[in-house]
Structure 1
Amino acid sequence: MSVDGTQADAARRGLVDHLVAEGVIRTSAIEAAFRAVPRHRFLPGMPIADAYADRSVVTKCGSDGAPLSSASQPTIVAQMLEQARPRPGWRVLEIGAGTGYNAALLHELVGGTGQVTTIEIYDDVAAAARRNLDDTGYEDVLVLTGDGALGAPEHAPFDLIIVTAGAWDIPAAWWAQLAPAGRVVVPLRWRGLTRSLALDHQPAGPGRPASLISRSMHLCGFIAMTGGNDGERTVALADDVVLFTDPDQSIDGELLHGVLDAPRVETWSGVVIDGDQPVERIRSIEGIWLRLSTIEPGTCQFSAGPSAVRGGRATPASPVNPALVEGDSIAYLASRRVAAGVSRWEIGAIGHGPRGVELAERIVEQIRLWAENRDAQPTVTLYPAGTPDEQMISGPTIDKRDSRMVLTW
């Protein structure tokens, strides 16, 4: 074995040992797949140490420098495979081929009696994935070029549809191509946040509509899908401050014109986090955001860039932050240090506009409820678009293009 081969084997062992020790990999089949597939062979030209680092690698950018394709962070890959739990013999559709690494892992898990089909919208990315898979002995993986939102009807039905790009909806094609007892694992976006959901398919029956019901969810971040799976709208509030909203929300940008120039009001919750620990801070903000999204229909993403923060135009708890909008008023999540030199931060809300105080108080109410059980997660149930209200479970509903989403605690 060459020196590079020895180094790669050692680096791969180190990465997998880390994922097992952290509890990310929990099943022997997924551990075996990670030990079998050489990630560095799917990132040709990259130093071995970087290829086996637990971080994502951008592999394609647009003309504006924005990332278009990447090799996902191994932790996220392992989490999604643990959510999916592919079995030997399964037929799998992967949306987003990337480097081909995920497809190779899936092939290890479904074996020779299964089939992995991966679809990629960019010709050059698909071609590179094909080369990488061929070079590593995974010629049986089928690589298609096309819009992942349309799926691969000629190879359906699928026991598993796993999506490796951020999706805003469950397209009608995925509903149609999923096997009766199938599963979808998808980084789904709603109200500006994203969660990797494992959704089990319950087919339609007498008096019962088809549905997808969440069995697990994880915090994650993905490059958004390109093609027919984007429904978000943007509302510019000021220079370097933007809202991201959903089409089913009655948020009117004209009514919000100049809202950040209105006097600000601050409301504080008494809930404290270790804000100097990035992981805890992100999890706290995202946990509050998740709760808001299940209760408040005006929840959306409030994005404030460096110039807005430096100038004091907006001072959110995070550059990407939850907000609550109603009519001509807004409130957004905020934080303040408890005392100088102390790493503890109190969470609250800042409001603007005629109902700014009320909206800030409503955010604070949800902060306090979140603090009572910070690890609580709702159940997400999705139905095909057009399903009547009376056939769905009761709860706050988010209407998307091809699906209706209900969130319950």
Structure 2
Amino acid sequence: MSQTRDTGIADRAAELRAALVSDLRAQQKITSEVVEAAVRRVPRERFMPAGTDLDVAYGFDNSVVTKRDEHGLPISSVSAAYIQARMLEQAELAPGMTVLEIGSGGLNAAYLAEIVGPEGRVVSVDIDPEVIDRARTLLEENGYGSRVRVLVADAEHGVPDEGPFDAIIVTVGAWDIAPALLDQLREGGVIVLPLIMNAVTRTIGFRRDGDHLVSRSVEVAGFVPMQGDGAHPDRVFLLPDANGRHIRLLFDSGVPDHLDRLDGVLTTKRTELWSGVTIGNGVSFADLHLWFAWFLPGFCRVAADEGTDLAAERLWFPFGVVHGAGFAYLALRTAAQGEGFEFGARAFGPDGQRAAAAMVEQIRAWDRDGRDVEPRFGYWPTDSDHTQIPADAAVMDKTHGVISISWS
């Protein structure tokens, strides 16, 4: 009876795995034979927490939390299938390579082992010993114990006695790129990481080009944040409403001066300003968020407590701006023609109209100069030649260097 049930589960998993591969191919998240073969071969369900439904394990965009902190926030997870496949493609892997994975879990390391083959080498590290113990156990149970070296390490300091690496894949949100990691990346090697830029994340595939990195691919995705010495917590400011509930403004960097001027703004009359810029139903405008992060001073992420007006409004696009004694947030309304939506801003406070105008100005600038253009990124370490940064690029300061972005 048990054997029959186990066979049925394995058969069902195989069916779902084949269907997932077909979906990933159709959506162009898998584009190479080596990645397809790896995803077909590795039993994804065996790396999930006990009791995970097969349909969840093989969902296209389901991430599965494997560990939470004392506040219930996720600190380790199995990434969604589409982003795992995409990052494997972004890394431009081939048999025989030496690869470093930062942020362990077991499943992605198994994929890597399949791709680089017996002549390659995979090192997987995590700062959390419990996460490493779980990954090591799962890899051993599924036949990858001898093919992946699993280590406890804070990747901010590199991985001593390992490397150099042909590719590095970072599976946690990174605010900066540690010099120690770049020191272990070969010339021409690729590093793929979810890079946080003023609270907006893009998973970027960078190739090393002499003293700096140049982007080769970009994907929209979110990850649990990095821990250890590379962590960069947000600054959080609470705006109370008339009922004692709060809107939370989260700043990655560039916190405006005199935020105390916002005290009481949510009790003021709300105003609106609309841009005339529209978007079709179901069309992504993720790059508008990225544009805000780069070009909208006072930009922040917004989170609303249950019971607040913003929560009731279903704040799907949680981005805002602070300007003096004003706060505005991104809003959408049905377009005048009845198809799609118009972008605008809703605002509070004495300077609310100015805050809304600043946001609307950047919506129009994005529509004019950035819409439907895939941006190019560069990463320039502190000791690199910054005179080579493209003249048309904007730059953003980080601890160990600067990021450049070009929209032309």
Q: How far is 1:274 from its partner?
A: 4.8
Deviations 1:176-213 (A, max 9, x none): 2221212111111112111111111122xxxxxx2122
Q: How far is 1:319 from its partner?
A: 4.7
CA contact (8 A) 1:387 1:404 kept: no
Hey, what's the Cα distance between the residues in 1 that align with 2:252 and 2:27?
36
Is 2:225 the counterpart of 1:224? yes
**Are the structure 2 counterparts of residues 392 and 254 from structure 1 closer, same or farther at C-alpha, using a change threshold of 3 Å?**
farther
Alignment match, 2:307: 307
With structure 2 as the length reference, what TM-score do the two structures score? 0.87
Select 2:114's aligned residue among 108, 111, 122: 108
Select 1:5's aligned residue among 10, 16, 20: 10
Alignment match, 1:290: 290
Alignment match, 1:207: none
Alignment match, 2:3: none
CA contact (8 A) 1:106 1:116 kept: yes
Deviations 1:257-303 (A, max 9, x none): 3344444431101223356x5xx4xx32x321112223234322222
Alignment match, 2:214: 213
5+ long unaligned stretches in structure 1: 204-209
Percentage identity across aligned positions? 37
- Where 2:308 maps in the other structure, the secondary structure is helix
Q: How far is 1:358 from its partner?
A: 3.3
**Are the structure 2 counterparts of residues 306 and 44 from structure 1 closer, same or farther at C-alpha, using a change threshold of 3 Å?**
closer
Select 2:237's aligned residue among 235, 238, 241: 235
Hey, what's the Cα distance between the residues in 2 that align with 1:387 and 1:133?
39
Hey, what's the Cα distance between the residues in 2 that align with 1:72 and 1:196?
13
CA contact (8 A) 1:304 1:320 kept: no
Match of 2:252, as an amino acid?
A: D
Is 2:407 the counterpart of 1:402? no
Alignment match, 1:43: 48
Q: How far is 1:311 from its partner?
A: 7.7
CA contact (8 A) 2:291 2:366 kept: yes
**Are the structure 2 counterparts of residues 73 and 234 from structure 1 closer, same or farther at C-alpha, using a change threshold of 3 Å?**
same
Is 2:363 the counterpart of 1:367? yes
- Where 1:194 maps in the other structure, the secondary structure is strand
CA contact (8 A) 1:248 1:398 kept: no
Match of 1:73, as an amino acid?
A: A
CA contact (8 A) 1:304 1:319 kept: no
Is 2:124 the counterpart of 1:126? no
5+ long unaligned stretches in structure 2: 1-5
CA contact (8 A) 1:249 1:297 kept: no
Match of 1:376, as an amino acid?
A: V
Q: Mean alpha-carbon deviation: is it higher for 246-255 or for 84-93? A: 246-255
Q: C-alpha root-mean-square deviation of aligned residues, in Å?
A: 2.6
Q: How far is 1:330 from its partner?
A: 3.1
Match of 2:328, as an amino acid?
A: A
Hey, what's the Cα distance between the residues in 1 that align with 2:214 and 2:336?
44
Deviations 1:230-264 (A, max 9, x none): 32322223343122223345444334333444444
Mapping 1:158-169, distance limit 5 Å: 158-169=165-176
CA contact (8 A) 1:245 1:251 kept: no
Q: How far is 1:217 from its partner?
A: 1.1
Q: How far is 1:338 from its partner?
A: 4.4
In the comparison of the two structures, how many residue pairs are matched? Answer: 392
Hey, what's the Cα distance between the residues in 2 that align with 1:170 and 1:88?
26
- Where 1:153 maps in the other structure, the secondary structure is coil
Is 2:271 the counterpart of 1:254? no
Deviations 1:296-345 (A, max 9, x none): 34322222233223688xx6x735522233444333211223479x6743
Hey, what's the Cα distance between the residues in 2 that align with 1:44 and 1:364?
45
**Are the structure 2 counterparts of residues 251 and 113 from structure 1 closer, same or farther at C-alpha, using a change threshold of 3 Å?**
farther
- Where 2:186 maps in the other structure, the secondary structure is strand
**Are the structure 2 counterparts of residues 377 and 311 from structure 1 closer, same or farther at C-alpha, using a change threshold of 3 Å?**
closer
With structure 1 as the length reference, what TM-score do the two structures score? 0.87
Select 2:186's aligned residue among 161, 168, 179: 179
